[in-house]
Structure 1
Amino acid sequence: MRLEKYIATSGIASRRSVKKAHSSRCVTVNGEPVLVPGHPINVETDSVEFEGKQVEPLAEHIYLMLNKPAGCLTTRSDERGRPTVMELVADLRDTIYPVGRLDLETEGLLLFTNDGDFAYRLLHPSHEVEKTYLVWVKGVPRDDAIQRLRQGVTISSGATAPAKIKRVKVSKDSASAKFEVVIHEGKKRQVRLMFKAVGHPVIRLKRVRIGNLRLGNLPSGQYRFLSPEEISELMLL
């Protein structure tokens, strides 16, 4: 088995985190640092450590969704002491990690797991998993601006793929507008940068759906475990 997959299925970290850790010599096999991703291991005989912790196969996988509040970092720890999403799942924090990220001020649906294959399936660009956001912006974008967003715009990380954009509401004074946006990419701060590119900065941003899984009425800052049916549907995306 490849080393990244073995560590991810142990619940200690995602495959992406493991690949980044190679360069800092945080991954060892039989006491020797492994610096190159893709290293094969024998799960029966090899001893694997990640950041000083012995890696052991998991007996049970965990899947849950959190309604992330604004002002909370999507990271396992923060050297500056800022609030993180792990504090909201404190009773499980040592055995799960976030699937992807929501930036500091973005709210809404965030998944956690200790199943590396599950996380990989949802995050890999080839699967094009749809994510739905509610977006509040300054001003009211004109139809031509909305059409640009639908076709794709250029942001700092490159051109965005076509998006589904629907106007939901315009404030009475036309100072702001609310939209529903569906994308399948995961570029950093993508939705915020998309609307900035057409001259309408985002005031508030909330993710409400991943695939067929909806946030629903889950209170802000609270989490719930996924049902077997929900897990199966996400694995089929």
Structure 2
Amino acid sequence: MEIRLQKILAQAGVASRRKAEEFIVEGRVMVNGKKVTELGAKADPDHDFIAVDGKKIDIFRSHTYIILHKPTGYITSTSDDKERPVVMELLPNSKERLVPVGRLDWDSSGLLILTNDGDLAYIMTHPAFHVPKTYMVRLDMPLKPEHLRQLEQGVEIDGRRTQPAKLRLVNTGNQKKATNQWYEITITEGRNRQVRRMFETVGYTVRKLKRTSVGDILLGGIATGKYRYAEPWEIEYFAKLKQQKLDRK
């Protein structure tokens, strides 16, 4: 049966659907020896020879899910042309071809999911599915109530208003030291450096940013730079999430 090429690539764990679409447009995908650049192109994974960058892909593989506590100073990527440290270097024992689900900036830390499940990566990163992501944020000064309300209602970034967010003060710290102000913010989008830019819009600088959850998956007590494989209940959650979200599309 023929299905869309980007879905085949995602199911094979090559990349998320969005990234797979970029591969197709860039001319990096071939079907039966012919380059394919049309996003609507289809192929039969049971009979067609499909290759990315000249390497045949295998769609029939089990899914792997890794929960990583990303430290600052690492790029959320599988490689970097500037030879900066990448998160894959933190998984020395993994033989799977995994991709990060979404991004965490170089100067941000916290929960990062890595998987070869392209459908899950697509759902968790595409803004249409509204998967919540929660962060702990330390600001340069206390957040005024009116600015908190603005952030909750949405602020304009690049000419487009952000979706409503949840925001609360977590720890007031030392009242004489404004840099001890910590807040918890939950968003359902994933724009480039979104949390930092939201606070910048209302006049604040984020000193530290740490992601603590994505959907029902929690960072918990994973030490910085360490990882674990998903537990059975988390794998079940991923399966239910895919079923619920994809059924709506």
The TM-score, its normalising length taken from structure 1, stands at 0.95
State which of 29, 34, 38 in structure 1 corresponds to 2:40.
38
1:205 maps to which residue?
209
Give the match for residue 178 of structure 2: 175
Task: Provide the rounded CA distance (Å) in 1 between the counterparts of 2:76 and 2:43.
Answer: 31
Q: Which runs of 4+ in 1 moved over 6 A?
A: none
Q: Secondary structure at the match of 2:186?
A: strand
What does residue 7 of structure 2 align with?
Answer: 5
Whole-angstrom distance in 1 between the partners of 2:239 and 2:149: 32
Partner of 2:18: 16
Once residues 158 and 207 of structure 1 are traced to their aligned partners in structure 2, the CA distance between those partners, rounded to angstroms, is: 23
Aligned-residue offset at 1:141: 1.4
Quick one: distance in 2 between partners of 1:157 and 1:51? 37
Alignment of 1:148-163 (within 5 A): 148-156=150-158, 158-163=160-165
Quick check: 220-229 or 92-101, which moved more? 92-101
Find the residue that maps to 1:126 and give its secondary structure. helix
Please tell me whether the aligned partners of residues 25 and 39 of structure 2 are also in contact (alpha carbons under 8 angstroms): no
Paired letter, 1:139? M
**Aligned counterparts of 2:13 and 2:219: Cα–Cα separation in 1:** 24
Q: 1:184 to 1:67 in 2, by over 3 A?
A: same
Percent identical residues: 39
How many residue pairs are counted as aligned between the two chains? 237
Equivalent residue for 1:221?
225
Q: Which residue of 1 aligns with 2:245?
A: none
Instruction: Tell me, in whole angstroms, the C-alpha distance in 2 between the residues paired with 1:50 and 1:104.
Output: 28
Please state how far the C-alpha of 1:93 moved relative to its aligned partner. 5.9
Segments of structure 1 that go 5 or more residues without pairing to the other structure are none
Q: How far apart are the structure 2 equivalents of 1:143 and 1:83? A: 39
Asked if structure 2 preserves the Cα contact closer than 8 Å seen for 1:140 and 1:174, the reply is: no
Q: In the superposition, relative to structure 1, how do residues 93 and 145 fare at CA in structure 2: closer, same or farther (>3 Å)?
A: farther
Greater Cα offset, 99-108 or 157-166: 157-166
Would the aligned equivalents of 1:96 and 1:112 in 2 still touch at CA under 8 Å? yes
* Corresponding position of 2:65: 63
Compute the displacement of 1:155 (Å).
Answer: 1.7
- In the alignment, is the contact (CA less than 8 A) between 2:14 and 2:118 conserved in 1? no
